[in-house]
Structure formats: C-alpha cells, structure tokens
Chain A
Amino acid sequence: MLAFLGKRLLSTLPVVLVVAITVFMIVRLTPGDPAAIIGGNSATSEDLDRIRVQLGLTQPLWTQFLLWAGKVLQGDLGFSFFLNKPVLELIAQRVEPTLSLAVGTLVLAVAIALPLGTLAAWRMGSWLDKAVMAFSVAGFSVPVFVIGYVLIYLLAMKLQWFPVQGYRRMADGLGPWARQLALPCLTLAVTYVALLARVTRAAVSEALTEDYIRTARAKGISERAVLTHHALRNAAVPVVTVIGVSAALLLGGVVVTETVYAIPGLGQLTVDAVLNRDFPVLQGVVLFFALIYVAVNLLVDLSYLALDPRIRY
C-alpha cells in the first residue's frame, strides 16, 4: 500500500512537468500580447515596448521558463500581469466558490442518481426504468446554459425562490451560502444525475444477474439488503470511478455555470486569464488543475481498496 502510494506520488512528477512545459509553450505560442492589452486603446508602440520589458517578455523563452519553473519549485506561482497579486493568492480566493459548486453538485447528483439508477435496474423494463432513461438522455442532450437560463427564469425570476446570480462565502453564513448555490448546483447536477443514474443502472443490473445475488435471495435475505449490501456494493467500483472523474471534471469545467450565475470561481479566473493573456495566472491555474486531477485519481484508486477487498496494490 505504502509502496503503491509512493509510486503514484512519484509518477505525478513527470505528469506535472509535462503539463508545466506544455502550458508554458501553448500560452506563449497563442496569438496575443499582454502588453497590448495592458497598454489599452491609447498606447503607442513605444508604450508597448516598455511594458514588454517590464513583464520580462523580451527575454528568451527558455530563460522565461527557467525563471518561472525555479519559482514554482519554491512554491511561488508568480505574479499576475494585471491583478497585481500573487497567483497563489488569486487561486486561493477562487477555490472556495468552485469547490462549493463542485461538491454541492456531486452531493446532489449522487443523492438523486444512485437511488434512481438502482430503482431503474431493479425494475428494468418498467415505466420507472424508461422514465429514468428518458431523463438521462434529456439530461445529456440539453446544454448546461439552457438548463441554467430555464431554471433562472422559473425558480428565480418567476417564483423568486433564489437569487439569479452571485456567490456568498461560507463565512457569511451557511444559509445564504446554500441558498446562493442551490440553483447553480441544480443546473450542473442535471447532467451528472443523467450520467450517474445511467452508470448505476448498468452496473447494478449487471450485478443483479450474478450468482451471489441469486444465492442471497435464496437464503431469504430481504430485497433491500440484496440491493444495498450485495448489488450496489459490487456495482460500486464503476460508479465511484465515474464520480471521481466527475469531480475532476467539475473542478475544471464549470466555466459555463460560473458565467451564467456570475460565480467568481476558478473557471472565471481561467477565462479572464485566457482573454487577457495573463500568462502567470493561466500557467498557475492549469498546474493547479493538473494536481487536482492527479489527487482525485489517486483517491479513486484508494477507494477501490475499501469497496472491493479483492483489489490489491
């Protein structure tokens, strides 16, 4: 186990290095000059030359990379060209909204999708199963921004249950925080409920055909226990894998939802950095995402041990 952990942690190093080099090169090869953006409409060529020197953009590419990598190794992700703040501080400011959105969505999705998927598998072919599958197809097919605007119109504009935009920090109180997050989480959860319900249905229906289920039923174990202790537990590995991937995707892919609901999270920080060609922020955020992905994958792998004792590392 410890050896596995050690190996996995060591294997993250080349991943992070490749990500660092790739993102560093990509952001610099993308058309766009931060100096021109900083300079604004009235800047002259002379102004732009001066700004480029200040930002260190006139140095050779490899020098820029080595300087940045050296700082990263010391835990310093650099300084934003525009915001006049350390990148690490900017990321720290934006983690809470994105994490809240991702965790809230996952909790909601798991809470709804697991029972739905299990019921659908248990009643395969019934109207319930068909309804769950129809919802899954619809949940996949409708774009997130459409779901967002429809929910805003109905639940915020018409019924006035929720605010249409914004984010309140946890420090402002759990009530305001949850209320502000409810609609965005619901919006995002639709897709993930569709995905998880489908995967759960497939995994549970497969487990229900196994001999041990027949044996359990033959032993007179209650249907509830059969479903929860035998079928669901054995179906857990693919479901947990999808939940893990979903968590990683949610952390890095909530740009649209953050935009529609004006949530100041990592997604919006990334978009701003891309639009402004704020190289240090972009590099820092992508590196952060890479580490998150690696960590989530590691946690998923470790969770297999708890879910399936046959698995050994």
Chain B
Amino acid sequence: MPTTTLSFPTLPARRRAAAQLARWACALSAALACSLPLGASAQPGAAGTLRIIPASNMTVLDPIWTTAYISRNFGYMIYDTLFGTDAQGRIQPQMVSQWKVSPDGKVWTFTLRDGLEFSDGKPVTSEDVVASLKRWASRDTFGDQLAKAIGQYETPDARTFVLRLKSSFGLVTEALGKPSSNVPFIMPKRVADTPGDVQIKETIGSGPYLFKADEFRPGEKAVFVKNTRYKPRAEAPSGTAGGKNVYVDRVEWLFIRDAQTQLNALLNGEADILEQPAFEQYAVLRSNPQIELVDAQPAGNQFILRFNFLHAPFNNEKIRRAAMLALGQEAFLRTQVGAPGLTRFCKSMFPCGTPFESDKTGEYTGIANPQKARALLQEAGYKGEPVVLMRPAENGTIGKLPLVAKQQLEQAGFKVDLQNMDWQTLVSRRARKDAPTAGGWSAFLTAWTASDILNPITMSMMNATGDKGWFGWQDDPTLEAIKKQFATATTDADKKKFAEAAQLRAFETVTHVPLGQFSQPAAVRKGVSGLVPAGAQVYWNIRKQ
C-alpha cells in the first residue's frame, strides 16, 4: 500500500513540472513565431501603384465647400478646370479650346475642347460649366468678385458659354484659372446645382483620375485609378496647366498622422512620396541616397502676423506700425524652419517670385529695429495694454513663431501675454470679436501658401470690409477702392500698378506683417519621377519604375 507523505514535492517532481512549463512556453513561442512571416520584407508598393503620404488627413470630398488644401488637391485629381496656371504664373487654357473678348471687354465667349467627358460617360456641356461656376462663386472670394461683375451667363450651344459682364472686370481668366482654394472645378450640373454651403455627395469629374469611393476610408487611405475617358492636352505639363498624363495604374493616399511614422514608411519603401516632411527631417532625408527632395510648390509659403483691429492696443495704427518695425524676418525663419536652403527673406506682401512681388514696402524693411519701434510706441501713447498673442503650440509648421514674436515685441516695449493652445482652438478663438481680456485676442501668426496670396483680391489679409471681413476685421474703404481698381484693370501694367498701390496702403495701415518665405520640398523615393511643380500639389505625369 502506498504511503502518503506530507512533505513538499520531491526535487525531481518539481523539475518535471518546471520542464513541463518550459515545454509549454517553448510551444507557445514557436506558435507565435510561426504565425509571423519571419524574414519577409516590408511590402513594397505594387508595380504601377503610387503611394503618397499627403500633408493632412482628408475628411471633406467637396473642394468648393471647404478651402482645405487636401480637398483642393483631391479636386485636381478627379476634376478638370477651364484654365490653369503654368509654372511661370501665366494663365493657360485647359478645358477651354478657345475664347474671345468683345472690344469693350464686356462679353467673354468660351468654347470647350471637343470630346470632354465626365467619368460617368456623359459629355461635359456648357450648362455643367455655368452651374459649376455659380456654385464656386458662392463660396470663393475671387469668384464672388467675378460673379458681381457678371450680368448674365449664356449657353448658346453645348460647347459654348458666354459671360456678359455688367461692369468691367480685368481678371476673368485669372479667376477661372486660379490655382488654389477654392478652385473652379467643373462638375456635372446635377451635382453643381447643390447649394455651395451643402456638401456634394457624388465624385464625378472629368479629370485625370477616378476616385474609388468604395475604398475611401477617412484617416486611412484614399484610392484613385486612371480615368480612361480623360483626354489630356497635347502640351507638356506646366503648373496646373498642360497635359495631365497618367502613367500609373493606381494612386493611394496614405493618411498617417505621426511625422516619425510618415518618415519611417517612406524610408522603408512603404510609401513613394512624402508630401510635406517636418522641417527637422530634411537633414535625414538629404543624407539618404534613396530619397530625392523635389520642390513641388516652388512659390513656397509665407509666414505672417495678423492684428486685431477692433481692440487695444492694435486698434491704433501707430502701435501696429511700431509692432511691424519690431519684427525681423531672420529670427522667425531660423527658429521655425532652421533647415538650410528652405527659407527666403522677402519683405513683399505678394510672395517673392510671383507676378506682383514688389519692393515698395513703405517703412517696412523686414529687419527688426527695436529702437525705432520703441520710440514710435511711446509717441503712440501705448498704455501697456497686454498683447494677447495666440500660440498653436502643437503645430510643427508655425508653433515656434509666437515665441520669436513675443521676444521681439517685448524688446520694443510691448507687454505680451502669450497663450498656448492647439491650432483648432486658435482658429475658433480668432473668430471671436470680444476684447482680448474677455476671451478675444490681439494677434496671431500663420502661414499661407503663396498661390493663395498672389494678388489683392485673393489675399485674405487685404479684405478690409470690417465686420464681414477676415479675422482682425480691418475697415478701410481706401484699400477696398484700390482693390476695385485692380479688379477692373485690363492691362498687366495697370494690374501691377494697383497691386503695388494696394500693398503700400496695406503697409501704411499695417494689415499684417510678412515674416519671410519658406518651402517644404516633397521627399520622393528614387525611381519615382515627374512630380510637377505647381501652385497646388498635383499628381499627374508621374512615372514609377
């Protein structure tokens, strides 16, 4: 009969149990290891599939309803435009084959190219064009100016449309070919008849790509395939004009939020193009032989500081001038961008390198002059009201600018209350007209793509219509009158003259302060070529080996 002991298990028994547990652990590890395809390489892009990491997530598929750049770029993928802006900034016909203007400049007759089709197989007609223009004009400042000048739209036949102006307007083709938000994309009439403040639900266009709505997942990816019905122009691609040829079968936009993950995906071959690397990543990218930097938006971007005209201290023109003199571009560019070769000193309000660039900037030099600023501040009777300066601390493109502004303004004698927030809070708060001490603000800094601020009409900071105008709410009938002269000018010389006058007036009243230009070249993997420099990010003409 076996005897029972009350002692702990013998050593051999423990060893057996330990060995058993170890076997389980090994089996488990092996199972886990087997479940992973060890040794497999990271997925490369399939042949003919171009993988792009855009600068931001895309949530809105209506490029007229929103001014978001990602939606604008989406628009360029699937829609076409009547005119485009070439690499030299000139307006060129796109969907239009020919056009003529009456001697008095009041009747504009356009003829569409032959054989244009929407992706659903229906022909593009002049009625589609008129409906699209009306919807665009209901949302876009430039379009609104044009619409106010138009007395009547006419569609004598399916390929011809006529704009009969009731007042002279010298920027008809410039408006129709504007490269950035909101771009007058042409949609089918039934879609374009949707009110401008209601999002459209269809994505039917006549552009170079088809949007795969069934594969679209916001926050994950958007997919485009070649539109076989698209008929590119014969000219070489240039800016948003010329032949929009598609050489890949499929384009995938991968929405990746984290900058480091974006970089990793590019370096690992999981993406072909990183649209907008972070400034601090350029050193790594430049040193990688597999990566090429391509300046796809050569006109670049501009930093600016905007004032609140409604409240002290910046409701005083002299105090705004003092602030302008206190600010120097070099420190802003060095602190925010840092990377060599990406910045450009430019004191013009219209970006340097664009048609209305001008060195007529009044007393603004772009170089900080704290002594002069301090003297002017005293002369203006500054009473020490705090400047509530909003800082979007998490924003990698502009988050450091307010730190420089604070230092430079304080050196000139301003009292600055720097308030940190996220960008979305800033855009919400800048819409508030309350006093700075009651939840309002005094100044903020932002960046504009050059193609958005090419002339006095599209430059939001020159909207001087008071309460109904842009944040800061400047009310200056003189500036508005100059803008009207610009809009009605018909010769290039006159346009240049009135653009300069508008800039001088803007510096005189200090609508805002330009703080230098910068570029953010796209990072492209070797083997991908043909990225077209333009006023917006466009993805035709690209070849992938």
Interface residues of A (CB under 8 A from B): 31-33, 35-46, 48, 50-51, 54, 82-84, 90, 93-94, 108, 111-112, 115, 118-119, 122-123, 149, 152, 156-157, 160-167, 175, 178-179, 182, 214, 217-220, 222-224, 226-227, 259-262, 264, 268-269, 271-272, 275-277
Task: Return B308 CB to nearest CB of chain A, in Å.
Answer: 13
Chain A residue numbers with a CB within 8 Å of B217 are: 93, 264
Across the interface, A163 reaches (CB within 8 A) one of B2, B66, B270, namely: B270
- Given A223-B14, A275-B422, A44–B59 Cβ distance below 8 Å? no
List residues of chain B with CB under 8 Å of any chain A CB. Answer: 2, 4-6, 8-9, 13-14, 16-18, 20-21, 24-25, 28, 32, 35-43, 57, 59-61, 66-68, 141, 181, 197-199, 201, 217-220, 254-258, 260-261, 264-265, 267-268, 270, 421-422, 424-425, 427-431, 433, 446, 448, 452, 460, 463, 465, 467-471, 473
User: What residues on B are CB-neighbors of A165 within 8 Å?
Assistant: 254, 256, 261, 264-265, 270
Residues in chain B near residue A175, CB distance under 8 A: 37
What would be 11 A-B contacts, judged by CB atoms less than 8 Å apart? A31-B428, A31-B429, A41-B427, A119-B18, A122-B18, A163-B43, A163-B270, A164-B42, A166-B265, A260-B260, A269-B219
With contact pairs A41-B460, A165-B270 given, residues A268 and B67 touching in the complex (Cβ less than 8 Å): no
Q: Say whether B36 contacts A182, CB under 8 Å.
A: yes
- Tell me the bound Cα distance from A129 to B31 in angstroms: 24
Given contacts A31-B428, A40-B67, A259-B258, whether A161 and B28 have CB atoms under 8 Å apart is: no
Q: Using Cβ atoms and an 8 Å threshold, which residues of chain B touch A219?
A: 4
In the complex, A94→B218 CA distance in Å? 10
Tell me which residues across on chain B come within 8 A of A262, comparing CB atoms. Answer: 254-258, 261, 265
Query: What is the CB-to-nearest-CB distance from A92 to chain B, in angstroms, rounded to a whole number?
Result: 12
Distance from A174 Cβ to chain B, minimum over Cβ atoms (Å): 9
Of A48, A118, A160, A164, which contacts B21 at CB under 8 A? Answer: A118
A161 surroundings in chain B (CB, below 8 A): 36-40
Residue contact B421 to A31, C-beta cutoff 8 Å: yes
What is the minimal beta-carbon distance from A160 to any residue of chain B, in angstroms? 5
Residue numbers in B under 8 Å from A218 (CB-CB): 4-6
Contact between B68 and A83 (Cβ–Cβ < 8 Å)? no
Whether B428 and A33, one on each chain, are in contact in the complex, defined by CB atoms closer than 8 angstroms, is yes
In order of increasing CB-CB distance, the 10 nearest A-B pairs are A223-B17, A264-B220, A40-B67, A33-B428, A262-B256, A164-B264, A36-B428, A82-B59, A32-B428, A36-B431
Residues of A within 8 A of B37 (CB): 161, 175, 179
**Bound-state Cα–Cα, A217 to B4, Å:** 10
Shortest distance in angstroms between B9's beta carbon and chain A's nearest beta carbon? 5
| A83 and B218 within 8 A (CB) | yes
Is the CB–CB distance between A276 and B264 below 8 Å?
Answer: no
Q: Closest CB of chain B to A79's CB: distance in Å?
A: 11
What residues of chain A lie closer than 8 Å to B260, measured between beta carbons?
Answer: 149, 260
Shortest Cβ distance from A33 into B: residue: B428
Given contacts A165-B264, A179-B37, A227-B17, list 13 more A-B pairs with CB under 8 A: A41-B67, A41-B427, A45-B468, A83-B59, A83-B60, A119-B21, A123-B18, A156-B42, A157-B267, A214-B6, A224-B21, A260-B261, A264-B219
Chain A residue numbers with a CB within 8 Å of B38 are 161
The answer on a CB contact under 8 Å between A268 and B257 is yes
Q: Are B197 and A222 in contact (CB under 8 A)?
A: no
Residues of B within 8 A of A44 (CB): 463, 465, 468-470
Chain A contacts of B42 at CB under 8 A?
156, 160, 162-164
Q: Is the interface of A mostly helix, strand, loop or mixed?
A: helix
Given A115-B21, A260-B261, A276-B424: A36 and B430 interface contact (C-beta under 8 Å): yes
Closest beta carbon of chain A to B195's beta carbon, Å: 10
Query: Are the C-beta atoms of A115 and B431 separated by less than 8 Å?
Result: no
Given contacts A50-B197, A175-B37, A218-B5, contact A164 B265 (CB under 8 A): yes
CB-CB under 8 A for A261 and B25, given A42-B141, A179-B36, A217-B9: no
Distance in angstroms between the alpha carbons of A42 and B427 in the assembled complex: 11
Residues of B within 8 A of A41 (CB): 67, 427, 446, 448, 452, 460
Q: How far is the CB of B184 from chain A (nearest CB, A)?
A: 15
Q: Across the interface, which residues of B come within 8 angstroms of A31, CB to CB?
A: 421, 425, 428-429
Specify which chain A residues have a CB less than 8 angstroms from the CB of B9 in the assembled complex.
217, 223, 226
Chain B contacts for A50, CB-based, 8 A: 197
Q: Name the A residues within 8 Å of B218 (CB-CB).
A: 83, 90
CB-CB under 8 A from B2, the residues of chain A are 220
Are the C-beta atoms of B39 and A48 separated by less than 8 Å?
A: no
CB of B67, distance to nearest CB on chain A (Å): 4
Residues of A near B469 (CB, < 8 A) are 44-45
Q: Are B4 and A220 in contact (CB under 8 A)?
A: yes
Q: Which residues of A contact B422 (CB under 8 A)?
A: 275
Q: What separation, in Å, do the CA atoms of A148 and B174 have in the docked complex?
A: 49
In the complex, the chain A residue whose C-beta lies closest to that of B17 is: A223
Q: Are A261 and B28 in contact (CB under 8 A)?
A: no
Which residues from B are CB-within-8-Å of A122? 17-18, 21
CA–CA, A149 to B433, complex, Å? Answer: 44
Q: Is the CB of A164 within 8 A of B463?
A: no
CB–CB A259/B220 < 8 A: no
B62, closest chain A residue (CB): A84
Give Cα distance in the complex from A165 to B36, angstroms. Answer: 16
Q: Could you tell me the distance between the alpha carbons of A37 and B425 in the complex, rounded to whole angstroms?
A: 9
Nearest residue, chain A, Cβ from B20: A224
A163 to B268, CA, bound (A): 8
* Bound: A37/B68 CA distance, A: 10
Are A40 and B66 within 8 A (Cβ)? yes
Contact partners of B25 in chain A: CB under 8 A: 115
Contact B427 A36 (CB under 8 A): yes
When the two chains form their complex, are residues B13 and A222 in contact, meaning their CB atoms are under 8 A apart?
A: yes
**B431 A84 Cβ-Cβ under 8 A:** no
A111 to B, closest residue via Cβ = B28
Q: Which residue of chain A is the closest to B200 with respect to CB atoms? A: A84
- The verdict on A272 contacting B57 (CB below 8 Å), with A40-B66, A217-B8 known, is yes
Chain B residues lying within 8 Å of A33, measured Cβ to Cβ, are 427-428, 431
* Nearest chain A residue, comparing its CB with the CB of B28: A111
For A162, list chain B residues within 8 Å (CB): 36, 42
